[in-house]
A and B are shown apart, each in its own frame.
Chain A
Amino acid sequence: MRGAVLWGTLGTLGLIPVLLAANSPLLGYRGVAYIIGGFAGIICLSILLVQPLLPAGYLPGVTAATGRWLHRWTGTAIVSCVTLHVGGLYITSPPDTLDALFLVSPTPFSVYGVIALWALLITALLVALRRRLPVGLRVWRLLHNALALVAVLATVIHAVQIDGAMEPLSKTILCGAVMLTTLLAFIDLRVIRPLLARRRRSA
């Protein structure tokens, strides 16, 4: 029962904003590349909602191993969505997209989009090179989580400032929920649990 409620809540929080955006009148005035690029961004935001929950083992019916496996797939989906997002925007308007990437865009939210982009790319690289990097698992996890935190925070700041296809209220709620799940997992896994473990060891 609790599992159904949790999954239902996550599904609603993640899907409603996408459905509302799909009904935006703005889509009728946009080309295919712009629509695909925009939705890639929106779907990315929705995936970020569950991304930290999967490996943490919080989700009912998902074992730790399955969670980590899913986390890798959703991570791949996030990187693919970001690529589609930037690519779709570039096809729609090369100068606006290059301005954003070179940090000379007049829009205040672009810089956060680029910060999130770099944080994600470095995260992907970190994942790909995990076995070859001369760092231990604990350091690797800390780096991974720190970059993820930057990516999520920057994505949320990026999203809330945009006047676009997303319906404002559902977007704000989704952004709040994304911050909540990210911080929850981070504080629980990297602060509270290590402290408890240390206390148990010293006791």
Chain B
Amino acid sequence: MHSPFYNRRSFLVTSGAVLACSALGAAGPAIAQGIAPTQSMRGGSNNYRPGAPLVEKLGNGFFVRGRVLRASDGAALKNVRIQIWAATTLGGEREPANHGSVLTRADGSYELEMEQIVPNFGQPHAHLAYDDRDFRQVFLRPVMPSAADRSVNADFVLVAA
């Protein structure tokens, strides 16, 4: 069972372990071509509901985009599920209509069209999660530079679980 709120300690422990491993491994040739894994962001898992349904889109006019890569070799990851939720003109972050998942394309890119994201708890922001078996979970909370923005970008570099 994943507990969305109290995973901060485990996040710190795992990110510390990842850092330590990458520092140790930096001398070796095995992961010399690796790229830095994406760290979870503070508050990234807030109002997360595991298992957001795969959707074509959640609305119109606003796009959440990004790419998903593998940390070990930088390869694009296809068919990876990214869960997305945000406060939009449809309601808050806990509104089910604001939760959906998409799969990445062959080039690792993903895109979800939804209703306009609106400022919530003081900042216009989205929430994204990678929370499946193959890689370590990552929770992101990108903030839009302006509430008038029509898109927000979030990339994932995943580490094998």
Binding site for B on A (CB under 8 A): 26, 28-31, 34, 89, 92-96, 98-99, 104-107, 109-110, 161-164
Contact = CB atoms under 8 A, between A and B. Distances in A.
Contacts of B87: 29
B151 interface: no
13 contacts: A26-B119, A29-B88, A29-B89, A93-B94, A95-B43, A95-B47, A96-B46, A104-B42, A104-B43, A110-B122, A163-B119, A163-B147, A164-B119
B108 interface: no
A93 B121 contact: yes
Interface of B: 4-5, 8, 41-43, 45-47, 87-94, 118-124, 141, 147
Contacts of A107: 43, 121-123
A29 B93 contact: no
B109 to A, nearest CB: 26
Given A29-B91, A163-B124, A163-B147, A93 B46 contact: yes
A110 B88 CA distance: 22
Given A29-B91, A30-B91, A94-B5, 10 more contacts: A26-B119, A92-B92, A93-B46, A93-B92, A95-B5, A104-B8, A105-B43, A106-B43, A109-B122, A163-B147
Given A29-B90, A95-B5, A104-B8, A164 B122 contact: yes
A109 B89 CA distance: 24
B119 to A, nearest CB: 4
Given A29-B91, A30-B92, A31-B91, A95 B46 contact: yes
